[in-house]
């Protein structure tokens, strides 16, 4: 089957570097992500688009512009309109052309782009009218009943509209008939319970959508986690397992938050340290 891969840029944002690098000292992480005067670093919210046999599958939707101006400022969201929509337009697509949206998890910086732009006169509405939305069942349960520690990461209005859409499909297993062969899911609980990472088969090795297990190249370092991770020790174990598998299989990792790199191969040196190679800033129609 011919399958082509594209990186689709959503709204950029700026977040506190200390929060993004957990207990790593600033003297270390600032080598990878220079901070501004407010200690904020540049972050992308990048989606992955797959085109195959007359259908388009979108992995995540970025942060969007559904928040009020005050909230966009708080979370460093760039632009007042949903950049994901403009990025799709550059490929001649609209949200109506998307057949499936696969959501690794429902935190607002990964799913907010499903909603319409903020307006004083109307609440945000769910877009992508022809898409079925795939979410892991365990994460859906977390989104409906979050812990106080992460409840601010979810969008209750989005959860409600997904439930009422009639197009929400919950995933329990490593595969789902809606995607069919060539796809399988890895489940991760370190960042948030039930996070779902999709692996795509490729002629030149697999591609995994890294979500918030490995949000960018800097987080390929196995000792680095985020302050937002619910269970950091578990996340580090999950990350090590995934990276070892990709390095062994000549696999590639797709990054949602890296501001300069969308896709890279995962490598492992003689000392067992993981790294990245063949880094691509954007992906336009790469056949896998």
Three-state SS at 11:
coil
Q: Please give the structure tokens belonging to residue 213.
A: 């297990």
Element (H, E) at 83: helix 83-90
Average confidence (pLDDT) over 21-36: 97
71 pLDDT higher than 80? yes
What pLDDT shows up at residue 288?
A: 85
φ/ψ of residue 165, rounded to 5: -70, -25
pLDDT, tens digit, 9 for 90 and up, residues 215-243: 999 999 999 999 999 999 999 999 999 99
Task: Please give the model's pTM, rounded to 2 decimal places.
Answer: 0.97
Work out the average pLDDT over 69-93.
97
pLDDT at 25: 97
For residue 17, give the 3-state DSSP assignment.
helix
Residue 1 has pLDDT above 80, yes or no: no
Which of 138, 155, 281, 276 is closest to 217 using CA atoms? 276
What ranges do the domains of the chain cover? 3-287
Q: Radius of gyration of the chain from Cα atoms?
A: 18
Q: What is the average pLDDT value for the chain, to the nearest integer?
A: 97
CATH architecture of 3-287: 4-Layer Sandwich (3.60)
């Amino acid at each position: 089957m011919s399958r082509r891969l594209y990186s689709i840029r959503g709204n950029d944002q700026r977040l506190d570097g200390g929060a993004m690098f957990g207990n790593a000292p600033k003297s270390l992480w600032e080598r990878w992500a220079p901070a501004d005067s407010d200690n904020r670093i540049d972050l992308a919210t990048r989606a992955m688009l797959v085109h195959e046999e007359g259908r388009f599958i979108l992995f995540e939707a970025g942060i969007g512009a559904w928040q009020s101006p005050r909230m966009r400022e708080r979370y460093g969201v760039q632009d007042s309109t949903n950049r994901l929509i403009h990025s799709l337009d550059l490929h001649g697509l609209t949200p109506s052309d998307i057949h499936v949206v696969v959501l690794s998890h429902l935190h607002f910086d990964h799913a907010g782009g499903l909603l319409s732009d903020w307006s004083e006169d109307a609440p945000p509405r769910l877009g992508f009218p022809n898409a079925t939305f795939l979410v892991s069942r365990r994460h859906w349960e977390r989104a409906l009943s979050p812990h106080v520690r992460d409840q601010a990461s979810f969008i209750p209005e989005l959860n409600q509209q997904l439930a009422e859409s009639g197009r929400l499909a919950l995933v329990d297993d490593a595969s789902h008939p809606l995607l069919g062969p060539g796809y399988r899911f890895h489940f991760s609980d370190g960042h948030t319970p039930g996070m779902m990472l999709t692996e795509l088969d490729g002629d030149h090795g697999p591609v995994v959508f890294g979500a918030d297990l490995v949000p960018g190249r800097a987080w390929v370092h196995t000792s680095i986690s985020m302050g937002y991770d619910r269970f950091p020790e578990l996340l580090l174990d999950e990350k090590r397992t995934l990276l070892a598998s990709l390095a062994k299989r000549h696999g590639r990792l797709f990054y949602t938050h890296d501001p300069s790199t969308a896709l890279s191969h995962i490598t492992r040196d003689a000392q067992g340290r993981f790294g990245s190679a063949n880094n691509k800033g954007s992906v336009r129609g790469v056949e896998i």
